[in-house]
Amino acid sequence: MGHKLKIGLVGAGLGGMTAAVALQQRGINVVVYEQSPELGEIGAGITVGPNANRVITGLGLEDEFEALASATPHAGILHYETGERLNYIPRGHDAYMKDHGAVSRLMHRADVHAALERAFNADEDSLKLKYKLTDISQDDDGVTLKFANGETDRVDVAIACDGLKSIIRDKLFPTEPPVFTGYMAWRGLVDRSRVPNVSVDPHFAAYPAEDKMFARYPVRHGTLINYVANARRSGYTSESWKDQTDITEVLEEFEGWCDDVVGIIRATPEGRCNRWALHSRKPLDSWIKGRVSLLGDAAHPMTPFHGMGAGMAIEDAAVLARCFEASGDDWQDALRRYECARLGRANKFHVASLERGQTYMSAKPDDRKQSPSAGVEDELGYDAMTVAI
């Protein structure tokens, strides 16, 4: 089937970039509009689970990813004060291949994004930087996109990949504004050489406590340690959802925790600790409005407690591309198939992630001992490259 459609992808995060590559690989014409002056991702770690790695393999990027990060060998739950092992889960290449058909990797977000950028055929027609979408409208023949730089463009179909604060979601879908979930997150990347005594066995370690949690894992072949520290808060009202903070604030929150936790926080380079007030929106009943649909955080901005937000965006992207390949220029059919294949699963993870935050930071010690993937283990073998569409 020939493909004549021009698909506009608004937002070049991990979701938008995966969609761009997957669509291009199927001979489909895409234009990526990104508000930033250059492509890239923040300096932080990310879990790329087996479900996401199946897509990476399907895009032909497996060797590149393997060179960036080997399979995670093990994960564990450690006591927040003593560091004692409360749960130890062997993972590794063979176990994951057997159970889920792909490995799990702990990576630097910028490395994941850069690999997608290399796979994307970017030229002046397919990538528009400094294009911040300000308005969107549609008629019988197409979608009109308006940008802050004064430009206007027309596409046959538009996919909102513009993240949690999606303007397209606000303009076209019945949605409430992002609301504070009650969780703060502080993230940092620390040079391993500054904390040589910190153990990386288990490779991924979570230290849950009542209302707080710390997780750390090595990235870039163990040269860096990534951490995420969470605490429940009520009534956070900052307008800025993502800002730098002084580590004193984090040290106060985690005072009295075991040496590895405090040592990692202390080793954060000055001005390099990022603070997030985690926001979310309620799951939607539909992701389609005429010629426009949603993908990734724009569709399902979930809490990070299953480490699956980007994984879901990557799955969405692969399924979306397969739907357009299967439906040719029948965009209505393609969008219907996409929503049908994806909405239920993404909304399920949305709810599961929120619940996982509650069990991780529960008042009951037994809840806190559960494996990091408790409740979704059976979902990790999902294959977006072959699932029915």
Ligand X SMILES: Cc1cc2nc3c(=O)[nH]c(=O)nc-3n(C[C@H](O)[C@H](O)[C@H](O)COP(=O)(O)OP(=O)(O)OC[C@H]3O[C@@H](n4cnc5c(N)ncnc54)[C@H](O)[C@@H]3O)c2cc1C
Residue 295: CB partners within 8 Å, gap ≥ 6? 15, 16, 19, 159, 160, 161, 313, 316, 317, 320
Q: C-beta of 180: minimal distance to ligand X in Å?
A: 13
Q: Of 309, 320, 345, 360, which lies in the binding site for ligand X, with binding defined by CB under 6 A? A: 309
Rule CB under 6 A: say whether 117 interacts with ligand X. no
Residue 326: CB partners within 8 Å, gap ≥ 6? 334, 337, 389
- Cα torsion angle, 201, 202, 205, 209, sign: negative
Written as one string, the DSSP assignment of 153-218 is EEESEEEE---TT-HHHHHHS--PPPEEEEEEEEEEEEEGGGSTT---SSSEEEEEETTEEEEEEE
Residue whose CB is less far from ligand X, 241 or 326: 241
Which residue is associated with the tokens 């925790």? 257
Rule CB under 6 A: say whether 15 interacts with ligand X. yes
Residue whose CB is less far from ligand X, 80 or 186: 186
Choose one: 78-86, 125-133, 205-213, 324-332; the region binding ligand X (CB under 6 A).
125-133
Q: C-beta of 297: minimal distance to ligand X in Å?
A: 4
Site track 266-285 with ligand X (rule: CB under 6 A), x = hit: ----------x-x-------
Residue whose CB is less far from ligand X, 73 or 328: 73
DSSP letter at 80?
T
Q: Distance between CA 261 and CA 229 in Å, rounded?
A: 9
Rule CB under 6 A: say whether 304 interacts with ligand X. yes
Rule CB under 6 A: say whether 218 interacts with ligand X. no
Q: C-beta of 236: minimal distance to ligand X in Å?
A: 14
Q: Describe the crossing of helices 331-360 and 309-327 by its angle, rounded to 10 degrees.
A: 170
Q: Of 153, 162, 260, 339, which lies in the binding site for ligand X, with binding defined by CB under 6 A? A: 162
> Which residues, listed in sequence order, are joined to residue 277 by a DSSP beta bridge?
184
Q: Which of residues 17-46 bind ligand X (CB under 6 A)?
A: 33-36, 46
- Closest by CA to 35, choosing from 169, 197, 148, is 148
Q: Of 58, 188, 296, 357, which lies in the binding site for ligand X, with binding defined by CB under 6 A? A: 296
Rule CB under 6 A: say whether 12 interacts with ligand X. yes
Binding site for ligand X (CB under 6 A): 10-16, 33-36, 46-47, 131-133, 161-164, 167, 185, 187, 228, 276, 278, 296-297, 304, 307-311, 313
